[in-house]
Amino acid sequence: MPEVLTPEKLSTFTVALIGNPNVGKTTIFNRLTGLRQKVGNYPGVTVDKRYASLKIGNQSATIIDLPGTYSIYPNSEDEVIVHRVLNGLDKTSKPDFVLAVVDMSSMERGLFLVTQIMDLGLPMAVVLNMSDTAEEQGIKVKTHQLYKALGVPVIQTNARSNKGISGITDLIGDQMFEQPASFLESDRLLPEQLSTAIQERFSLTNSYQAYQLIRFHDKEPILSHEESEWLRQEIKGADFDIKSKQLQETQDRYAAIQQVLETVVEKTDMKKKRLTDKLDRIFLHKVGGYAIFLGILLMIFQAVFAWSAMPMDLIDGFFASLSASVAGLLPEGVLTDLITEGIIPGIGGVVIFIPQIALLFAFLGILEDTGYMSRVVFLMDRVMRPFGLNGKSVVPLISGIACAIPGIMATRNIGNWKDRLITIMVTPLMSCSARLPVYVILIGIAVPATNIGPFNLQALVMLGMYLLGVIAVLVTAWVLKLVLNFKERSYLMVEMPLFRVPRWKDVLITMYSKSKTFVFEAGKVILAISIVLWVLASYGPSGAREEAIAAVEVPADGASEEVMLDYQHNLESAELESSYIGIAGQFIEPAIRPLGYDWKIGIALITSFAAREVFVSTMATLYSVGSEVEDELTIQEKLKSEVNPNTGEAVFNLATAISLMVFYAFAMQCMSTLAVVYRETKGWKWPLIQTIYMTVLAYVSAFIAYQLFS
């Protein structure tokens, strides 16, 4: 008899990973989920939410990786997310279960967060991670005792060596999470009457939730006006002061944890000096520390340029020949033109970034993963302070070299608003990877590849462009510090984790997922613009095009090949000039002429206001329109040979190229950055101010550059 298969309903649930910073949460997440990860946004905010679906048996679990936090009372924006998720304020990501990760060698602090989550009443389990370092330091934990004390399952792991990971998978698969009893007695938190009243009114299930509501009711727009008014009256009536209560809670909680730890932790005193301490003597050295930091930065640049040159050339060549072969394959017509002259060069202009971006992200991932980034924060804090920045600003700024968007999102762990805002405002001035191809092309055109001493002149100019960005960051930050009058206290509290060997697999995962996000996000914009641009360049107001073509002098029969080529060129030029985009370019030409640009560059300026990388694809489109694609000329060679038909001189001379590079270094030409700044600053004020100051800075500096070099 055939077996009857009854389709089982796939049960789905969500598990949130929570823990202090640097306890190995992300390693566990990567071990559990591998390449299945997706990056999304938390509703209403732009911080990356990493999540992945995991199939275990006939169940499907969604695992969410939350930002590291020391308590459920948020200090920085990063931590607000944890608070929101735990309290179900983000309906879509409310977890069914919590997996709390604790560093086994600093359990006291880890359990502080764990017991807070326990008091919230969420079903949970505890992972004691980094058992190897704990053992090195003579720390042993009686897991079963801890289970008895807390009432939630406890697993010991060492995620780096994969030890205990299968235990976590089993635990998730069997849903062995347990809802613990409250850790702190509720009468220590709230007067019973007040607690009961609040629980009834807002249908909460325990005292700690009521306590949380009091703590956050004015920060979260979750309550109606009437509700928060009622709450205020109740608090006042009970004569309840949340601030002093919270200090009391903190002390009581630590005291209770101390009692638990006395029974579960065995510690033998090891006098061994930690390797990390020895390494810190080198990496944090007065002089040596900075030399190493500078050396690492230089090495990254060197690698990003040298190692990526070859794959980039290959990609460039590949798209040029792809365009040519597609043109040969498809029948001639409008659609073919759109594909070969608009879409393929447009996409090629994005794809060519992949090697550089992937490398940059890989290096940043390694710096972060080894624990070196927080040393940079330590080294740079005092240096950055006079500029209104802070040690933590260095991380967003360095990330900004890859892309301003992750950089601006990284400002979320800067606790105070003033430092954070200034960092957000200046981060887009760092020369991001989207500027790179613009620099590469223009330097290639205008700067000779000669050597000055041991240095290559082109490389020096490139370095100069990056330094220009850094100088602009510091000066602008300093000006903003003077202008913005905030009273808020600036502070720095940062933990320096143990130095570690980077987890190469994790670096690869980061590299892959970040590059993918970048390419697809940028790709969408570029593809859309490429198509619009091609249409606008191929069509013009009726009549204007015909007139322009008619105005070009037709050479006599039997004219030399040179004359015929010239005619061809003039014809293309006239066609483009009379197209919609040509008209737009000419419209702004008077405004950009003092900077040394013609109307074609004007077109590129207009289109690249959405994204800088569009400059290259615009150039590719503009200079392919109507011309033969079979010759497989790359963009750089095409631009180099571009001659102004009126003066007969090269369009891209040194002055124009430098001026254009300076313009691209400073102008706010990135819609995505604007969108992120809008969301991070919760309004249009700051993105607007940012756009204006950057555009003015770009125009004035480009003007000065042009005058200096021409």
- For another protein, give the closer residue by CB, 284 or 532: 284
Report the site for another protein in 392-451 (rule: CB under 8 A). 415
Query: Residue 136 or 521: which CB sits closer to another protein?
Result: 136
Least separation, in Å, of the C-beta of 476 and another protein? 23
Chosen residue from 38, 382, 524, 593 binding another protein by CB under 8 A = 382
Q: Which is nearer to another protein, 225 or 273 (CB)?
A: 273
Number of residues in contact with another protein, rule: CB under 8 A?
A: 42
Among residues 284, 532, 588, 633, the one that binds another protein under rule CB under 8 A: 284
Would you count residue 374 as binding another protein (CB under 8 A)?
yes
Determine which residue in the list 277, 546, 630, 632 makes contact with another protein, applying CB under 8 A.
277
Q: In this structure, are residues 656 and 643 in contact, taking their beta carbons and an 8 Å threshold?
A: no
Stretch that binds another protein, among 33-41, 50-58, 281-289, 406-414 (CB under 8 A): 281-289
689 CB burial (10 A radius; 0-12, 13-18, 19+): middle
Q: Which two tokens stand for residue 274?
A: 């930690």
Burial of 290 (0-12, 13-18, 19+ CB in 10 A): middle
Per-residue x/- track, 645-664, another protein (CB under 8 A): --------------------
Does 250 participate in binding another protein (rule CB under 8 A)? yes
Burial annotation 230-244 (CB, 10 A radius, 16+ → b, else e): bbeebbeebeeeeee
Among 109, 140, 201, 245, binds another protein (CB under 8 A): 109
Q: Determine which residue in the list 73, 486, 512, 686 makes contact with another protein, applying CB under 8 A.
A: 73
> Rule CB under 8 A: is residue 271 a binding residue for another protein?
no
Q: Which residue has the tokens 């990254």?
A: 300
Does residue number 487 form part of the binding site for another protein (CB under 8 A)?
A: no
Contact with another protein (CB under 8 A): which of 26, 106, 131, 209? 106
DSSP H/E element including 596: none
How far apart CA 636 and CA 444 sit, in angstroms, is 7
Residues 112-171 that bind another protein (CB under 8 A): 112, 137, 139
Q: Give yes or no for residue 499 binding another protein (CB under 8 A).
A: no
Q: How far is the CB of 187 from another protein (least distance, A)?
A: 22
Residues in the chain: 710
- Residue of 187, 188, 189, 196 lying closest to 234 (CA atoms): 196
Q: Is 280 helix (H, G, I), strand (E, B) or coil?
A: helix
Q: What is the CA angle 242-243-245, rounded to 5?
A: 65
Question: Which residues, 6+ apart, have CB-to-CB distance to 489 below 8 Å?
Answer: 416
Q: Is 503 helix (H, G, I), strand (E, B) or coil?
A: coil
Nearest CB to another protein, comparing residues 303 and 494: 494
Other Cβ atoms closer than 10 A to 569: 16
Regarding 75 and contact with another protein (CB under 8 A), the answer is yes
Instruction: Give me the least distance between CB of 20 and another protein, in Å please.
Output: 9
What does the alpha-carbon distance between residue 473 and residue 390 come to, in Å, rounded to a whole number? 13
**Do the Cβ atoms of 124 and 99 come closer than 8 Å?**
yes
Residue of 53, 143, 199, 246 interacting with another protein (CB under 8 A): 246
Nearer to another protein, 146 or 676 (CB): 146
For another protein, the closer of residues 257 and 422 by Cβ is: 257
Q: How many CB atoms are located within 10 Å of the residue 576 CB?
A: 23
Tokens in use for 681? 């600053």
Cα 558 to Cα 564: distance, rounded to the nearest angstrom: 9
Distances (CA, A) of 600 to 332, 574, 577, 603: 26, 12, 9, 5
Token pair 């500096």 is found at 701
Nearer to another protein, 144 or 281 (CB): 281
CA distance 260 to 247: 20
Burial of 345 (0-12, 13-18, 19+ CB in 10 A): buried
**Does residue 342 contact residue 534 with C-beta atoms inside 8 Å?**
yes
Instruction: Closer to another protein by CB, 204 or 494: give it.
Output: 494
Q: Considering the complex, what minimum distance in angstroms separates the CB of residue 239 from another protein?
A: 20
Nearer to another protein, 73 or 486 (CB): 73
493 binding another protein? (CB under 8 A): yes
Closest approach, Cβ 123 to another protein, in A, equals 24
**Residue 273 lies near another protein (rule: CB under 8 A):** no
349 and 620 in contact (C-beta within 8 Å)? yes
Stretch of residues binding another protein (CB under 8 A), selected from 105-113, 196-204, 349-357, 553-561: 105-113
Q: For 308-327, what is the HEC assignment?
A: HHHHHHHHHHHHHHHHHHHH
Q: How many Cα atoms occupy the beta-carbon half-sphere of 267 within 13 Å?
A: 14
What is the distance, to the nearest Å, from the Cα of residue 226 to the centroid of all Cα atoms in its chain?
Answer: 39
501 is an interface residue for another protein by CB under 8 A: no
Q: Is 218 in the site for another protein (CB under 8 A)?
A: no
Q: Residue 286, interface with another protein (CB under 8 A)?
A: yes
Q: Near another protein by CB under 8 A, which window of 48-56, 67-75, 510-518, 652-660?
A: 67-75
Regarding 280 and contact with another protein (CB under 8 A), the answer is: yes
Contacting residues toward another protein, per CB under 8 A: 70-71, 73, 75, 105-106, 108-109, 112, 137, 139, 246-247, 250-251, 254, 276-277, 280-281, 284-287, 289-290, 374, 377-379, 381-383, 391, 415, 489, 491-496
